[in-house]
Amino acid sequence: MTSGLRLSSVLGCSVGLWAGWLLALLLLLWFPRGAWAAPGLCVGPVCGDEFSRSANHPWQLKLRVSDQDRHRERIVVDCRDGVISPRVGPVERGYAAAVARRVCRLLGEG
């Protein structure tokens, strides 16, 4: 009688294990890893993503920049002259300005 209990507990565990593997497989097929790994637009060690246009001023773009040291911040760029705001922050400003100018150029703003 105890062997029957052991067998059912082993079978129940393996069904749960298979269900977990099937769920993981379906999630991987539903959400491909390549879509998660896209960093946005990068120049050197700084990448920018979450680009949006200002509602009040169409020449301004808002974006989030991050570097390899895990510093992140949101900046605003004036695409008419390439000035970014704020001028001081944790992400290196030369690369952040290059990312901002490149986004403006790609969107045809600058």
Question: In this structure, are 12 and 45 located in the same domain?
Answer: no
Rounded percentage of the chain residues whose pLDDT exceeds 70: 72
* pLDDT confidence tier of residue 28, bands split at 50, 70 and 90: low
pTM for this structure?
0.62
Question: In this structure, are 26 and 48 located in the same domain?
Answer: no
Question: In this structure, are 93 and 59 located in the same domain?
Answer: yes
Instruction: Report the mean per-residue pLDDT for the chain.
Output: 80
Residue 23 sits at the vertex; the CA angle it makes with 17 and 24, to the nearest 5 degrees, is 90
Question: In this structure, are 44 and 98 located in the same domain?
Answer: yes
Question: In this structure, are 94 and 48 located in the same domain?
Answer: yes
Q: Return the pLDDT at 58.
A: 86
Domain that holds residue 49: 40-107
The residue with greater pLDDT, 8 or 76, is 76
Say if residue 15's pLDDT is above 90. no
One-letter identity of residue 38: A
Question: In this structure, are 57 and 90 located in the same domain?
Answer: yes
What total of structural domains would you count in the chain?
2
Q: What is the pLDDT of residues 65-86, one digit of tens each?
A: 999 999 999 999 999 998 999 9
Q: What is the pLDDT of residues 34-46, one digit of tens each?
A: 444 456 899 999 9
Residue 65's nearest CA partner among 87, 39, 83 is 39
> What is the side-by-side order of every strand in the sheet holding 60-66?
41-43, 46-53, 60-66, 72-78, 83-85
Question: In this structure, are 55 and 69 located in the same domain?
Answer: yes
